Amino acid sequence: EVQLVESGGGLVQPGGSLRLSCAASGFTFTSYAMSWVRQAPGKGLEWVSAISGSGGSTFYADSVRGRFTISRDKSTGTLFLQMNSLRPEDTAIYYCARGTGDYFSSSGFPFSDYWGQGTLVTVSS
Amino acid sequence: EIVLTQSPATLSLSPGERATLSCRASQSVSSYLAWYQQKPGQAPRLLIYDASNRATGIPARFSGSGSGTDFTLTISSLDPEDFAVYFCQQRRSWPITFGQGARLEIK
């Protein structure tokens, strides 16, 4: 059974940092691209960042580029999102999501077929 | 950035009725469009990918159609569990974008 379990959310002051983790199990981790998608309270979905199965290709939304870093550890099957210089507008539930396959430049980044339950990040003084 | 506009914002129907939700892209996304369902307090669930392919385990009453800039999600006969928010998403070009969502509510 595919499982994705996020952790690391919490309350942080503006300008602070957090590191989100997503523990993956039930599938061959390196064979699938992964993404982070966020949802501000009562709002829609916003794609944040994505990474290929090998970790060799990474992508960011303009709103987080230069502040957030996505990475993955194949030895533990864990996806990460390092978030620095946090702003109040980063407040949201952060979901990790598995792609339907790996990323290939010829076919684009896959849609997400499994999602974690999300972890809440609140940026406030 | 490709903007996805969903309509209507809210659709009020009764169980057993047919639901039709629309997603329009600001430029062509070919067939690289997906539909997700989200219920309160839950993560999104993939329903349809690449415009018309049902994801694993999705009931046959859900169908998707369209290509280019205009797409439709149809639920042939609404089940009480189908009342939720629906999002479309494109993967044709970076950044990946979602529609603003459409709420399907019980009339």
Across residues A43-51, what is the average pLDDT? 97
Min distance B8 CA to chain A CA atoms (Å): 15
- Mean pLDDT, chain B, whole residue set: 97
How does pLDDT run across A52-105, given as a tens digit for each residue? 999 999 999 999 999 999 999 999 999 999 999 999 999 999 999 999 988 888
Residue A103, by phi and psi: left (phi above 0), alpha (psi -120 to 50) or beta? beta
Chain B nearest-CA residue for A98: B46
Can you tell me which residue has the tokens 């684009």? A108
Is the CB of A102 inside 8 Å of chain B's CB atoms?
no
Of A46, A47, A111, the CB nearest to B49: A111
- Mean pLDDT, chain A, whole residue set: 96
Label the pairing between strands A119-123 and A10-12: parallel
pLDDT number for residue A46: 97
Of B46, B100, B101, the CB nearest to A111: B46
User: Which residues in chain A are closer than 8 Å to B36, comparing Cβ atoms?
Assistant: 45
Q: Under a CB-based contact definition with an 8 Å cutoff, are residues A58 and A48 in contact? A: no
Structure tokens given for A63: 């709103």
Nearest to B88 by CA among B62, B64, B68: B64
**For A90, phi and psi rounded to 5 degrees?**
-85, -5
What DSSP designation does B62 have? Answer: E
How does pLDDT run across B63-97, given as a tens digit for each residue? 999 999 999 999 999 999 999 999 999 999 999 99
Across residues B41-70, what is the average pLDDT? 97
Longest dimension (CA), chain A: 45
User: Which residues in chain B are closer than 8 Å to A110, comparing Cβ atoms?
Assistant: 91
In this predicted structure, the answer to whether residue A12 has a pLDDT above a threshold of 90 is yes
Are A46 and B56 in contact (CB < 8 Å)? Answer: no
pLDDT number for residue B101: 98
Is the CB of A27 inside 8 Å of chain B's CB atoms?
no
Burial B7-39 (b: 16+ CB within 10 A, else e): eeeebebeeeeebebbbbbeeebbbbbbbbbbe
Is the CB of B58 inside 8 Å of chain A's CB atoms?
no
pLDDT number for residue A107: 83
